[in-house]
Structure 1
């Protein structure tokens, strides 16, 4: 049987959370699935090859465990612990009113110069 690591420790090592306390809350709050099974304790064991589905506030992460890790190192080291299988983020929409089309960037309010030109054009009529 292969060695394992507590799921809260692994989430912390992989830099999914900033500390172990939020990692424990994720696990006990039902926001983490281990190989498609919802877990309810932070002491569940994670092994190499397991797939974790983590429901965060604004996105869902799907991570395949490649290594267990032995410490919480820099981000570049944390990325070697998993393979990211997450779906691409959904395209942004106008959340306030989806029926209103989005403007192109830079197509907002006119500048002072453009307002003066518009005023001059309107007075010419």
Structure 2
């Protein structure tokens, strides 16, 4: 669908990636919402994310709101993907690195102390 002058472009949203459909809104609005297809469903084809807006009585305002919400959803989606990739890289880095010598020494020292503590719990021998 062509971008009309009343619907602003949002960062990260290309009109060619969007699929827009209209339906009749529910809720308040009287005769207007019963007659006019004011609800807007906007789908971003590459990501599959979609948003439906029926907040306003006017289709134009709902189109603007839908684009703004979809842009925010895409930004959040990208942020989550970047965070997941970063987390995976960190996990792989930690798995690949061996334990430092000092850490091994501390672990063994704690085990010795714990073992001694458990031995002291035993019954007193003769």
Q: Compute the TM-score of the two structures, normalised by the length of structure 1.
A: 0.32
Structure with the larger RCO, 1 or 2 (CA within 8 Å, 6+ apart): 1
Q: Compute the TM-score of the two structures, normalised by the length of structure 2.
A: 0.32
Compare the two structures and name the one with the higher strand fraction.
Answer: 1
Compare the two structures and name the one with the higher helix fraction.
Answer: 2
